[in-house]
Amino acid sequence: MTQRARTTTSIHAAKTNLSRLIERATAGEDVIIARGQTPVVRLVPIKARKASRRFGAMRGRAKTTRAFFEPLAPDEIAAWEK
């Protein structure tokens, strides 16, 4: 089992070197920010989302009536425009 590199830094040093710490975290390094000797935060990259939306994926799952396609009444339109 390979062990990831670990960097522990103070809050003050993290403010000064944030860009470098972000680079290290996105490269897979474990970045810990400490208050004094107490670790308080782990800097981790956000995982990329998968493009999982597919056109028509909900087809047949939502029920609509003919009234859905009818024009709105003037008072309903006015309510939306507020």
Q: What confidence tens digit (pLDDT) does each residue in 14-30 have? A: 999 999 999 999 999 99
In a domain, 16, yes or no: yes
Q: How many Å apart are CA 45 and CA 68, to the nearest integer?
A: 44
**Would you place residue 11 in the very low, low, confident or very high pLDDT band (cuts 50, 70, 90)?**
very high
**79 is a domain residue:** no
Q: Give the separation between CA 68 and CA 76, rounded to whole angstroms.
A: 13
Q: What pTM was estimated for this model as a whole?
A: 0.55
Residue 80 has pLDDT above 70, yes or no: yes
Residue 49: φ, ψ to 5° = -75, 145
Tokens of 26: 């996105």
In a domain, 38, yes or no: yes
Instruction: Check whether 1 has a pLDDT greater than 60.
Output: no
Domain residues for 14? 6-43
Q: CATH code at 30? A: 3.40.1620
- Structural domain includes residue 67: no
How many domains are contained in the chain?
Answer: 1
